Structure formats: C-alpha cells, structure tokens
Chain A
Amino acid sequence: MSVSHAELREVSKIFPASGGQGDVHALGPIDLNLAKGEFIAIVGPSGCGKSTLLEILAGLALPSGGSISFEGRPVQGEVPYGVGVVFQEDASLPWLTVWDNISFGLRREGTESAEIKRKVEDVIAFMGLEDFARAYPAQLSGGMRQRVCIARTLVLEPRLILLDEPFGALDQQTRLLMGDELLRLWRKTGATIFLITHAIDEAVMLADRVAVMSARPGCFIDMVKTDWGTNRDSRVVADPRFGTLTARVWTRLREESLKSVGRSNRATAVALS
C-alpha cells in the first residue's frame, strides 16, 4: 500500500446564498487518494464541480469542508511547491516571446541565468518548440499556445500536474495528438497527472483510472481502471477493451448529464418567468 501523493478527504464546497437563491451545494463530499506517478482522469457533466475540485486540490480555492494534503502536508488556499496547473483558457502571456513565457516561473525563483537557459532549452527541445522560441503567442495556433503553457509548467519540474480541460478549445485531431504528448511527458517526468476532461474517449485513452462524477453536487459514482501499459498512446483505441470501458463510463455519465441538462433548463425557465 503506497503512501498517497495527494489526498482529498471529505472535501465539499458550498457557495453561500446570493441574489435570492439558497446555498449552492456545488461539490462533494469527495474522497480521493492519488498514488505517486499515476495518471487519473475526471469526467462529469457540466456544472458538476470538476473545475472547483481541481482548484481546491491546487490550493486556488478553499473547501467548505474536508481536508486536502499534498506530500503529507496540508493544502490551504495557497498553491504548494511542486504543483503545476494548466488551464483551459489560453494563459500564455501575449507580451512575452515563447522563450520568455517558458522561463517566466524560473526567473522569479532567483535561479541563475545559465541554469535558466539550460532548463528552458531542454524543455523547448522536449516539446519541439525550437522553431518558435522567438515568436510571440499571437503568431501561434491554439494548440501551440497550450504547448507553451505546458512547457512553462514543466520547466519548474512539478511533481503533481493538474490540467483543467486543457484541450477543450482545440479540434479533435489536435486533441488526440496533444494527448500523446501528454503521455510522453508523463513518462519522462514521472509526475502524477490529474486531468479533467469532458471527452470520455480522451479520459479512457490516457488515464490509468477514470473517475466519473455525478451531477451537482458532484460526487464520484464510479472509478474505472483501464489497466493500460505505461507505453500506451492514442492507438489504444484499437484495443477491444477501449469500447467496453468507454461504454461503461458513458452509461453512468449519460444519466448524470441528463439530470444536469434538465436542471439547467428548469433554472433558465424559472429565471425567465
């Protein structure tokens, strides 16, 4: 029984009443143990609290109840060292070149410039961004910009990487290729990966296990182990088990999605009346 890399115990989030509505019970209770070096994916219907969960785990938000720990130490409203986050929106800094973007975090931590140069160039080589090092994000495609953001996170050598629907804004084919990239990066760094996605095939293809969340308030209703080998890539779609696993996830998820859609339709109807 290995020591958890990160732990969520009875984490819940309630947003207080505002604007004539009661408290919104957004999330939980959630219990989760992340093993060191594992790749876990979270899927769930819209509004189930997946992003809230990620932000709580990252220390970007405080839970209403429960506790979070990373490497044995509690996480409380501050992002711990060793945790990296990749967001869905484009977080590349438009006024810096790709090179300066990637070195952004290093320059803060007072690392020496020779050291910075080495690390940045390593990551640039690893991510295949050599040709674009002097370009500005505005000159790159959406996929490239996300790679810059990932590179910027990687260069700090995080031990836990949280990704909130990082490929949501990309087209399907780019997404599949980025998935392969993510796996490559995972193998190289040995980091624990926590991926939120709404794409079930992506979750099943990439992760060691897939956690299925219910509609709001989000709780885990299923944990699907994929048992793929470490050396997998997107071609795992050809494996017969891929279909079964995806089907299992979607069956549980479909009910929850319908609930979520029904609820949001009703809320809109109430607001319009």
Chain B
Amino acid sequence: MSVIPEASGSAYVAGQDSARAMQRRSLQRLLDSFLLIAALVVVWQLVYWKSEVAITGPIETAKTSIELLGSENFWTHALASGRAFSLSLLMSSVGGVAVGLALGAHRFSGAVAAPILTALYTIPKVTLYPMVLLIFGLGISAKVAFGVMHGIIPVVIFTMDAVRNIDPVLMKTARVFRLSPRETAFRILIPAVLPEIVTGLRVGFSLTLLGVIIGEMFASQQGLGFMIINGMNVHNVRSLTAVVLLLLLFAVASGTVLLALERRLQR
C-alpha cells in the first residue's frame, strides 16, 4: 500500500531452520533493541547536559515517572485519555473495517472512494479541530472525534485494499469446492485479508492515539495531552518529560505487540 508508511519487515531467508536457531535469532533481536535503547538513553543524557532547561535527564525522568505512576492525579488524567482512546479505537477499528470491507467488495464504490480517502489521509486534520470543537463541544465526544478522524482512514484504506487484492484464484477455488457463502467467508476470504487488515489496525492504533493526545493538547483540561501542554506552559519540565516518556513506552510497547501479531499472521 503506497499511501501509508509502515515498518517494512526485515526480510530474512526462511530455511529449514531448527526451532532453536529461530529462538537464538529472536533473542539476538531483543538484545539489539536493548542496545539501541541504551544508545538512545546515552544521547538523551548528552542532550540534557547541553540544554538542561528544556528537558530532564534520564535518571531524573525515571524517578519522576515512578512518582507519577504512584500519584492519583496522574491516573485521573491517564484514565481520561484512556477512556477517550478506547472509544475512538473501537469506533475506528470496527467502523473502519466495516467501511473498508464494503468499499472493497463493491468495486465501483471502491474506485470512486480511493483518491478521496488518500486526500483525506494527507490533509492536516489538526487544522480542522476548531470545527470539530464547534460541532461536538468541549468534552469527551470531541476527543473521540479527533481520534476517530485520524485513525479510521488508514483502517479503511488497508481493509479496502486487502479485499480488492484478493487473488481471483481463491474465489475460483471456493466455487470448485462448492463452498457456501459463509464457508467461503470464513475459510478463504477472512484468512486471505486478515494480515493486511491487521496492518491497517496497527497504523490506526498509532494514529488514533496521536489524534486523542493532540486533541487534548489543544482543547482539554484533562488527559495526558493536557498534562504535556500544561507542563510546557508552566515550564514544569520534569513532569512534562516524565509524561512523554510514559506515553512513549506505551506507544512502543503496544506497537511491538501489534507488530509481532502481524508477523505471526503473515507466516
């Protein structure tokens, strides 16, 4: 899919490897990731030494983060974001897959919609935020709207592409085996489109999160996004950096899990 960037999996030669060899490779990959993280932390420390004003160093941040995780205030905000995020995610995923399936199955509609979706994907949706606020008001519904705005489009695009690209041979095979529509859907179509849909959901997850957080940064008194922009405004760099770190950890952790799920499906 050319519109949306996603990490291209590293291609490695699948040979007649033993299970142990594959385990060894996974461990090595974990180690490499840790090395990379360690390198980033070192860079972080160096940047901190250069400009103490703007961010906090790694050790301080780690301490503050742990403090935050214990504070009730933090969890109030985190749950506010979490609520908005879960709702947006649910709507983006379910809505996106549904619309994507429909557009993929009905060729003509899909062809009409494709460039429109691409255009919607590339416009800076942040500039539309005021309009969303005027329509939904200053509450959780606006936040959910932001999240859905950002997240639903990649899900639709990926799902639509997956359905459009189903190899016709698979459909012919289904007819040769005289499968019922239900059997065709469950035994042939869904396995065929699932990997790409999961990729779309992964991208949708990231963007939904981004949408909710940015929404909170712009127009909310609650949530992690608010904590961040508030930290910026009152120059509470410690708290700001800690929240960013926690958010980052969440994003990377969930991203890794989804990526692993995607890889398993692509076998």
Contacts and interface: CB of A to CB of B under 8 A. Distances in A.
Interface string B1-28: 0000000000000011110110000000
A271 interface: yes
Nearest to B17: A19
A161 B16 CA distance: 34
Interface string A235-273: 000000000000000000000000000000001101100
Contacts of B20: 20
Contacts of B17: 19-21, 271
A20 B17 CA distance: 6
A18 interface: yes
Nearest to A18: B15
A21 B18 CA distance: 8
Contacts of A271: 16-17
A20 B21 CA distance: 6
A230 B105 CA distance: 59
Nearest to A270: B16
A101 B18 CA distance: 44
Interface string A16-44: 00111100000000000000000000000
A263 to B, nearest CB: 11
Contacts of A21: 16-18
Nearest to B18: A20
A18 B17 CA distance: 8
Nearest to A21: B16
A271 B22 CA distance: 12
Contacts of B18: 19-21
Contacts of A267: 16
A267 B17 CA distance: 11
Contacts of A268: 16
Contacts of B15: 18-19
A19 B17 CA distance: 5
B80 to A, nearest CB: 49
A268 to B, nearest CB: 8
Nearest to B20: A20
A244 B17 CA distance: 43
Nearest to A271: B16
Nearest to A272: B16
B254 to A, nearest CB: 31
Instruction: Indicate the member of A18, A19, A21, A270 with the most B CB atoms within 10 Å.
Output: A19
A170 B198 CA distance: 37
Interface of B: 15-18, 20-21
The 7 closest A-B pairs by CB, nearest first: A20-B18, A19-B17, A19-B21, A271-B16, A20-B21, A267-B16, A19-B15
Interface of A: 18-21, 267-268, 270-271
14 contacts: A18-B15, A18-B21, A19-B15, A19-B16, A19-B18, A20-B17, A20-B18, A21-B16, A21-B17, A21-B18, A267-B16, A270-B16, A271-B16, A271-B17
